[in-house]
A and B are shown apart, each in its own frame.
Chain A
Amino acid sequence: MKLNSKIPSGPLAEKWTNHKFNIKLVNPANKRKYEIIVVGTGLAGASAAASLAELGYNVKAFCFQDSPRRAHSIAAQGGINAAKNYQNDGDSVFRLFYDTIKGGDYRSREGNVYRLAQVSVNIIDQCVAQGVPFAREYGGLLANRSFGGAQVSRTFYARGQTGQQLLLGAYSALSRQVANGKVKLYPRTEMMDVVVVDGKARGIVTRNLITGAIESHSAHAVLLCTGGYGNVFFLSTNAMGSNVTAAWRAHKKGAFFSNPCYTQIHPTCIPVSGDHQSKLTLMSESLRNDGRVWVPKTIEIAEKLRKREIAPRDIKEEDRDYYLETKYPSFGNLVPRDVASRNAKHVCDEGRGVNETGEAVFLDFRDAILRDGEDAVRGKYGNLFDMYQQITGENPYKTPMKIYPAVHYTMGGLWVDYNLMTTVPGLYALGEANFSDHGANRLGASALMQGLADGYFVAPYTVGDYLAGLSYEKVPEEHPEFRKAEDEVKARVKQLLEINGSKTVDHFHKKLGKIMWNHCGMARNAAGLTKAKEMIRALKEEFWSDVKVLGTGEELNLSLEKAHRVADFLELGELMVEDALHRNESCGGHFRDEYQTPEGEALRDDENFAYVAAWEYLGDGKDEALHKEELVFENVKLTQRSYK
């Protein structure tokens, strides 16, 4: 199968405008004859469901949480980019496009990214009209701040809770359509499979998480807005429930999965404190503006720190290694996320980590406090310092913070064309669930932008184009394909409950997480990846013969829910490893030890790897088939990133 990205022809700046004119429209009176399923109610899902309902389509919206407002978009802190140029500092649609392509290490599509930059300005207008309380200047106009990877101030924010406020805006628009009768909500409902009839997505099968009922829902199109798969690592900054199940089931029904190995590791998270740990908490990147990153110069001193024989403040200036400042004199502590993360891992691997586990570096505010005073530091970061103290019990005004990188975002996802349609006609993927806009590395404040761009301003056009060519008739839910999918789901529930083995679901999830983190995390190499593949296969086998899932399928059963998700993570993990192993280069979040510059930076191979890897599922136990979509760069020149 030849992948067709369907990027419209013509100059970059006119592609989206021309495309919108060329796509087919559905007559307003006929829109009510179509039904659309939206799975997931985060930024992408809630905005898409609301916008499509406003147009007149009938929408069914599904989420596994108890309310659409709980989707994990809510936890985004920093902000949302938009090329408004309100600051008169030289921003433009082209500059936002350029920064995003470069930040992604030249592994994303020009056409998609340019459109993203174009609609970014509409997003801010939309959110303000909904009553989203963005930060403002005293004159009453909107405030901006700067963020990593950009030299202009284009980030709009709502204190440290931008994701929350944007999601509540989209949730309010969604709620309005529920009241209008155009959206029917299905909370506490998990999608278990996509139903494909005559090559087109025609609905889904779900499990009601309260009653356990397996149900079919027929529709004319299905939109997956189900987020990323960072929880394959067990420990990540994702919510506990975030999972790959919907995307993975779609993959097994014919949707190609792209660049699964592109994972973003965020450098400033609170380190793991023990085996009991269930999730990792992000500390905003903004802390690196004033905090200095260091570890002791020698292993001996680090050893004493780990045994608590000395305190951090006892270590003399000449015994401290401010490794980022030494190595990258011009960017210092503000190097991009991937570079900061890799260097932290490097010094800890040398045995210079500073906490009991040996996996932490200091982020020290001593000098900022001496220079600006404690009150000034409190003014800027007070809430973050409080949060840190709440979690660790240590006072960062008195002793340096300890941080370590953690899995934060996944750039890979379901392959989609310019219309956000997967390789299954009628099946779409929006937001973090698709692969399209961030290449091999996402810039800060761009995830919120992409989720809302897809939902408010792209899907409402492109889904209509598809529906216009479709008859009004729905496939009945009694169709054999629906029955078959239901039976498969029921059989799987039964199978999981009957194994009655000796180990809990979490046991397997933790083991998988360790394999992924050690061999497919911040740095990868062929030997480790090959080993990981075997280990995951063995673990998968053990899971299906020895997992213990208690209770029944006809009630709220958290271990059963988890078992379904972990089973899918086990399969995805293997594909991630396969993808990382085949990509014989380093780019963005994918760093292969074998491919680095003499200075230890990521070494791309544009000649052989400037493509999107799209994997096709061929059946259980079989290796997946690789398809390549060549990336064409007509408007930017590919260069080596340097932050020295």
Chain B
Amino acid sequence: MNLTLKVWRQKNASDKGDFKTYKISGISADMSFLEMLDVLNEDLSDKGEDPVHFDHDCREGICGMCSLYINGQPHGPNQTTTCQLHMRSFKDGDTITIEPWRARAFPIVKDLVVDRSAFDRIIQSGGYVSVNTGGVPDANEIPIPKVIADEAFDSATCIACGACVAACKNASAMLFVSAKISQLALLPQGKVEKRGRAEKMVAQMDAEGFGACTNTGACSAECPKEIKQSNIARMNREYFTASVSTEKV
């Protein structure tokens, strides 16, 4: 198929950036979206033009490195990661607009590459159970009801791609943060520190410049891992309980 691509090009963080239009032909329906961009980049290199920079790594939908805002949707039309989106989702003659994630907390590095280190700093502020290596009890000494373990697992599947932030009109990171807070608050191992964790992670999230949540649900609707909005409710509960509690943990 033949396509027209409108791609955001930006040399570096201080460059203003704008859209450039490219024609591309000979694309097969079996290609993944990123393989289509590989073809574009080979074409550009042959012509001596700088290839389009984008983040990607595992190309099997689990590492969370790929991003791209495609025709106004994070990861494009299907609820998958961009690397799992295939060209059969498009038609011959289509025009496809490709932009980076747009959020103040995710500054653009180059072209379609953004800096998501804010997510790492949020996890560093409390997204863990404080145990050292060694000296822990036998794994089966902590029985966990299957339903609780399954629910914690659903929250734990977040890949930190940032689609939730890109989808949100306020660029809120609530879905990402709440998924980690939920996973650990549900499990007995994580309950010990749950209040302090919620306070610290929310504080870090605010400090990074992410916006507020207005419950539109765009984040969940676009999340390639189907992280549920109910996580946000649980996070808010943990946070408010913590803020009115005198207990220091």
- A104 to B58 alpha-carbon distance, docked (Å): 27
Instruction: Check A276 against B35 for contact (C-beta < 8 Å).
Output: yes
- A460 to B132 alpha-carbon distance, docked (Å): 12
Task: Return the contact of B63 from the options A54, A75, A237 (Cβ within 8 A).
Answer: A75
Set of chain B residues within 8 Å of A126, measured between Cβ atoms: 131, 133-134, 136
Set of chain A residues within 8 Å of B129, measured between Cβ atoms: 129-131, 172
Task: Return the contact of A558 from the options B53, B63, B160 (Cβ within 8 A).
Answer: B53
Q: What's the nearest-Cβ distance from chain B to residue A242, in Å? A: 8
- A178 to B129 alpha-carbon distance, docked (Å): 14
Instruction: Check B149 against A133 for contact (C-beta < 8 Å).
Output: yes
Given contacts A51-B133, A67-B160, A278-B35, contact A128 B123 (CB under 8 A): no
Q: What's the nearest-Cβ distance from chain A to residue B90, in Å? A: 13
Given contacts A75-B58, A128-B139, contact A133 B183 (CB under 8 A): yes
Set of chain B residues within 8 Å of A71, measured between Cβ atoms: 63
- A122 to B109 alpha-carbon distance, docked (Å): 41
Whether, in the assembled complex, B18 has its beta carbon less than 8 Å from a beta carbon of chain A, the answer is no
Whether, in the assembled complex, B97 has its beta carbon less than 8 Å from a beta carbon of chain A, the answer is no
Set of chain B residues within 8 Å of A66, measured between Cβ atoms: 55, 65, 115-117
Set of chain A residues within 8 Å of B184, measured between Cβ atoms: 131
Task: Return the contact of A173 from the options B12, B120, B128 (Cβ within 8 A).
Answer: B128
Instruction: Check B110 against A556 for contact (C-beta < 8 Å).
Output: yes
Instruction: Check A133 against B153 for contact (C-beta < 8 Å).
Output: yes
Set of chain A residues within 8 Å of B190, measured between Cβ atoms: 131
Whether, in the assembled complex, A247 has its beta carbon less than 8 Å from a beta carbon of chain B, the answer is no
Smallest Cβ-Cβ distance to B184: which chain A residue: A131
Task: Return the contact of B29 from the options A130, A393, A551, A558 (Cβ within 8 A).
Answer: A393
Instruction: Check A125 against B139 for contact (C-beta < 8 Å).
Output: yes
Return the CB mask of A526-564 against B: 1 if under 8 Å, else 0.
Answer: 000000000000000000000010110001101100000
Set of chain B residues within 8 Å of A179, measured between Cβ atoms: 124-125
Instruction: Check B58 against A74 for contact (C-beta < 8 Å).
Output: yes
Set of chain A residues within 8 Å of B132, measured between Cβ atoms: 51, 54
Which residues, 81 to 125 on B, are CB-close (under 8 Å) to A? Answer: 84, 86, 88, 109-110, 113, 115-117, 119-120, 123-125
Which residues, 48 to 68 on B, are CB-close (under 8 Å) to A? Answer: 48-51, 53, 55-65
- A259 to B117 alpha-carbon distance, docked (Å): 38
Instruction: Check A178 against B124 for contact (C-beta < 8 Å).
Output: yes
Whether, in the assembled complex, B246 has its beta carbon less than 8 Å from a beta carbon of chain A, the answer is no
Given contacts A457-B133, A504-B45, A559-B45, contact A68 B57 (CB under 8 A): no
Instruction: Check B183 against A550 for contact (C-beta < 8 Å).
Output: no
Whether, in the assembled complex, B165 has its beta carbon less than 8 Å from a beta carbon of chain A, the answer is no
Interface residues on B, range: 35 or more
Whether, in the assembled complex, B38 has its beta carbon less than 8 Å from a beta carbon of chain A, the answer is yes
Q: Is the interface of B mostly helix, strand, loop or mixed?
A: loop
Which residues, 142 to 173 on B, are CB-close (under 8 Å) to A? Answer: 142-146, 149, 152-153, 156-157, 159-160
Set of chain A residues within 8 Å of B134, measured between Cβ atoms: 122, 126, 456-457
Task: Return the contact of B39 from the options A239, A276, A393 (Cβ within 8 A).
Answer: A276
Set of chain A residues within 8 Å of B125, measured between Cβ atoms: 179
Which residues, 316 to 341 on A, are CB-close (under 8 Å) to B? Answer: none
Given contacts A128-B142, A173-B133, A390-B86, contact A550 B45 (CB under 8 A): yes
Instruction: Check A69 against B64 for contact (C-beta < 8 Å).
Output: yes
- A66 to B159 alpha-carbon distance, docked (Å): 13
Whether, in the assembled complex, A297 has its beta carbon less than 8 Å from a beta carbon of chain B, the answer is no
- A445 to B49 alpha-carbon distance, docked (Å): 44
What are 14 inter-chain pairs, A to B, with CB distance below 8 A? A68-B120, A131-B187, A136-B145, A138-B146, A164-B157, A171-B123, A237-B60, A276-B28, A276-B38, A276-B39, A277-B35, A278-B34, A281-B60, A390-B80
- Listed in ascending order, the chain B residues whose CB lies under 8 Å from chain A are 11-12, 28-32, 34-35, 38-39, 42, 45-46, 48-51, 53, 55-65, 80, 84, 86, 88, 109-110, 113, 115-117, 119-120, 123-125, 127-134, 136-140, 142-146, 149, 152-153, 156-157, 159-160, 183-184, 187, 189-190
Known: A126-B134, A136-B145. 8 other contacts (CB 8 A): A51-B132, A69-B160, A126-B133, A172-B128, A173-B133, A276-B28, A278-B34, A556-B12
